[in-house]
Structure 1
Amino acid sequence: MVKNALQAQLLKAGLVDNKKAKKLSKQVQHEQRTGQSSETELKAKIEQDKQEKIAKDQSLNMEKQRQLDEKALKASIIQMISQHQIKDTDGDVAYQFIDDAKIKKVYINQQIYNALVSGSLIIAKDHDRYAFLPKELAERINEKMQGFLIMNNSEKNEEITEEVDPYAAYVIPDDLMW
């Protein structure tokens, strides 16, 4: 006979047969008499689940902290760009460069143009605007995080000077604009 109401319901539903119900009730009685129980297994499983949850929480916290650090670094770089950019750049000389596979054109004065061409100034992207930064500051920003610098002519100038220039003897006119 079934001693438990739940077992009776399971029998009625056809989920458990009489043989299985008797076996389970005898197993419960045996565990009660001998003091053996699945409590130790249950406690071990609970402890294991706790450890897994702690490890998962720690990994999530580390990911959140990494994202916060990256966000703070981006904010500090944007602040550095806005503080150290060259302000008086308006002029009538057009300078073209590539940003995200699109050709962009800015109008700057001749002094800024010469500095960009020589590589002493570098173009950086500050949100949707472009900023002109000194080479040393731009290199520090690039060491901290990639993706802010757009145009860096100093690398091209170094490559050109290292190669043997077959046209070095020819004079290039100063007023030549591309």
Structure 2
Amino acid sequence: MVKNALQAQLLKAGLVDNKKAKKLTKQAQHEQRTGQNDDAEIKAKIDQAKQEKLAKDQALNQEKQNLLEEKALKASIIQMIKQHKIKETDGDVAYQFIDENKIKKVYLSQQVYNALVSGSLVIAKDQESYACLPKALAERIDQKMQGFILVNNNAENNDQTTDEEDPYAAYVIPDDLMW
């Protein structure tokens, strides 16, 4: 009648009666058949795993969304540069500037060169080439995303700090000096 040794020992000791032992045996068999063992713990673990997966998926989706927004912003800036660049810039005057730690040289007309040196035009990166843009557009582009404007000769930025003991402090080197 009693199926395991523990129940037999409990019956002999008088701690459990026959009726109670049968009830416990039937309850154990029922739990085995229906799979109700630690059901609450399993459900809690499943819910926790779902919550973790949901949080991970949301983080990945947010990252993808940020990448897409950045890509769209770059595309719109490139389109703005292509639409508003000054087309007639070719000339005989060489202008040198730094792009990605390399000195680059472009040949410009004298009028474009003078506007670039005075600060009314700027040089922007146009994918593989360079474009001259009006200063107002360049400021809007720079507010949206850094890295497209390479040369911006502001009159405010040309103020250099000098040392009081420098013997050549009175001699100002012009920005458009040609060697």
Normalised by the length of structure 1, the TM-score is 0.72
Give distance in 1, aligned partners of 2:112 and 2:43.
72
Q: Kindly indicate whether the alpha-carbon contact (under 8 Å) linking 1:31 and 1:37 is maintained by their aligned counterparts in 2.
A: no
Alpha-carbon deviation of 1:45?
A: 0.7
Q: Which residue of 1 aligns with 2:16?
A: none
Normalised by the length of structure 2, the TM-score is 0.71
Q: Which residue of 2 aligns with 1:158?
A: 156
Q: Which residue of 1 aligns with 2:137?
A: 137
Percent sequence identity is 64
Residues 31-80 of structure 1: per-residue CA shift (max 9 Å, x gap) = 839x9730110011111111111111111100000000000000000000
Give distance in 2, aligned partners of 1:161 and 1:56.
51
Alpha-carbon deviation of 1:163?
A: 6.7
Distance verdict in 2 for CA 1:159–1:150, change over 3 Å: closer
Q: CA RMSD in A?
A: 2.6
1:90 partner SS:
coil
2:157 partner SS:
helix
Q: Which residue of 2 aligns with 1:53?
A: 53
5+ residue gaps, structure 1: 1-25
Q: Which has the larger helix fraction?
A: 1
Alpha-carbon deviation of 1:120?
A: 0.8
5+ residue gaps, structure 2: 1-24, 163-168
Alpha-carbon deviation of 1:100?
A: 1.1
Q: Which residue of 2 aligns with 1:82?
A: 82
Give distance in 2, aligned partners of 1:128 and 1:166.
41
1:153 partner SS:
coil
Q: Which residue of 2 aligns with 1:17?
A: none
Q: How many residues align?
A: 144
Residue type of the partner of 1:166?
A
Distance verdict in 2 for CA 1:31–1:118, change over 3 Å: farther
Structure ID, larger Rg: 2
Residues 88-111 of structure 1: per-residue CA shift (max 9 Å, x gap) = 001111111111111111111000
1:158 partner SS:
coil
Q: Which residue of 2 aligns with 1:32?
A: 31
Residues 120-146 of structure 1: per-residue CA shift (max 9 Å, x gap) = 111000111100011111011011001
Give distance in 2, aligned partners of 1:98 and 1:32.
77
